[in-house]
């Protein structure tokens, strides 16, 4: 793809004791792309995500975001810089409604902030109403507006994952990272998720996707990187990756134990 990349990963390496979980990984994500990061269990996908989103610190390598060096120190700083993520294990505010969960995403970048919304100073009322309206719009966007007033844990598993996406979108990220969004979903939920991902791309969003469902990845991604034992074993279009001997061998290799 031509033009400068929105997000670049250069020689990324992370070790846990004697284990190199991520080993000299390079990748380039361009604006408007859906970029897939796949690989067998233990390949290093989540570690990569945790490095990109500031949960872990890299041992080697660097990131460029919009051409500038990006060194995430903490997750809240990552959100402020324009990267949002969802989690493999859903992390919603369990006692809040679906609507309130999305409102928290907006408050992260509102002038009033979460505390202001609780104290409800008069001049913050208007901003609060605006956030409420925009949160409802996002719930509609991901297809769960009918559950706005339901406590988040009452929602089905698939809907909770869509709620996480809505909350992440509330921060208006330039890069949205989804960590196994289809995990635990049934076929109908996966189809709806696919539609939502394609809709986000249609609206110009840039997505990084870790996903075990290879069919989903091949169906939505513009470019894919395949990891195995922390190393990139293939990179390119879904067509190229699907035909790669190294990828086929890695997936047929069965249970992956690190040496
Ligand atoms: N905090 C940690 N401490 C020690 N080892 C870790 C840690 N996190 C991950 N690992 C190891 O690093 C390797 C890569 O793990 P990672 O979770 O990144 O893989 P993955 O591709 O996301 O796997 P899965 O698809 O099963 O989620 C694995 O061998 C794992 O056991």
Check whether residue 244 and residue 192 sit in a common domain: yes
Check whether residue 117 and residue 153 sit in a common domain: yes
What is the 161 CA–ligand 1 centroid distance (Å)?
22
Q: Which ipTM did the prediction report?
A: 0.97
What is the 159 CA–ligand 1 centroid distance (Å)?
27
Indicate the DSSP class of residue 94: T
What pLDDT, in 10s, does the model give residues 186-199? 999 999 999 999 99
Residue 16 Cβ inside 6 Å of ligand 1? The answer reads yes
Check whether residue 163 and residue 212 sit in a common domain: no
Domain membership of residue 234 (yes or no) is yes
Domain membership of residue 9 (yes or no) is yes
Residue 20 Cβ inside 6 Å of ligand 1? The answer reads no
Residue 22 Cβ inside 6 Å of ligand 1? The answer reads no
| For residue 151, pLDDT beyond 70 | yes
Structural domain including 106 reads: 93-170
For ligand 1, atom 2, the nearest C-alpha belongs to: 16
Number of domains in the chain: 2
For ligand 1, atom 5, the nearest C-alpha belongs to: 16
Check whether residue 186 and residue 159 sit in a common domain: no
What is the 169 CA–ligand 1 centroid distance (Å)?
27
Q: Pocket of ligand 1, candidates 45, 47, 177, 259: which has the most ligand atoms within 8 Å of its Cβ, to mutate?
A: 47
Q: Pocket of ligand 1, candidates 13, 15, 37, 42: which has the most ligand atoms within 8 Å of its Cβ, to mutate?
A: 42
Check whether residue 199 and residue 151 sit in a common domain: no
Check whether residue 118 and residue 160 sit in a common domain: yes
Question: What distance lies between CA 135 and its chain's CA centroid?
Answer: 19
Residue 44 Cβ inside 6 Å of ligand 1? The answer reads yes
In 68-128, beta strands by DSSP E? 68-70, 83-85
Of the listed ranges 15-24, 99-108, 131-140, 234-243, the one predicted with least confidence: 99-108
What pLDDT, in 10s, does the model give residues 160-209? 999 999 999 999 999 999 999 998 889 999 999 999 999 999 999 999 99
In the chain, beta strands by DSSP E? 7-16, 19-29, 34-38, 60-65, 68-70, 83-85, 175-179, 207-210, 223-228, 231-236
Domain membership of residue 88 (yes or no) is no
CATH number at residue 8: 3.40.50.300
Domain membership of residue 222 (yes or no) is yes
């Amino acid at each position: 793809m031509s033009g400068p990349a929105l997000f670049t990963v250069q020689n990324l390496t992370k070790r846990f004791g004697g284990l190199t979980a991520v080993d000299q990984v390079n990748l380039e994500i361009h604006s408007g792309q859906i970029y897939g990061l796949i690989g067998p269990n233990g390949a290093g996908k989540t570690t990569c995500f945790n490095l990109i989103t500031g949960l872990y610190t890299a041992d080697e390598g660097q990131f460029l975001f919009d051409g500038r060096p990006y060194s995430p120190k903490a997750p809240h700083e990552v959100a402020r810089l324009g990267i949002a993520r969802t989690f493999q294990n859903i992390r919603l505010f369990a006692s809040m409604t679906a609507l309130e969960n999305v409102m928290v995403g907006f408050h992260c970048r509102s002038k009033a902030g979460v505390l202001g919304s609780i104290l409800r100073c008069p001049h913050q009322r208007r901003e609060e109403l605006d956030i409420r309206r925009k949160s409802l719009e996002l719930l509609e966007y991901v297809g769960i507006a009918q559950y706005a007033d339901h406590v988040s844990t009452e929602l089905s598993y698939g809907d909770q994952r869509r709620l996480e996406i809505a909350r992440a979108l509330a921060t208006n990220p330039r890069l949205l990272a989804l960590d196994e969004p289809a995990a635990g979903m049934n076929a109908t939920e996966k189809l709806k998720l696919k539609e939502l991902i394609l809709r986000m791309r249609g609206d110009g969003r840039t997505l990084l996707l870790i996903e075990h469902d290879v069919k989903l990845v091949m169906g939505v991604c513009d470019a894919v990187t395949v990891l195995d034992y922390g190393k990139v074993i293939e990179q390119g279009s879904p067509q190229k990756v699907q035909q790669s001997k190294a990828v086929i061998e890695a997936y047929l290799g069965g249970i992956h134990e690190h040496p």
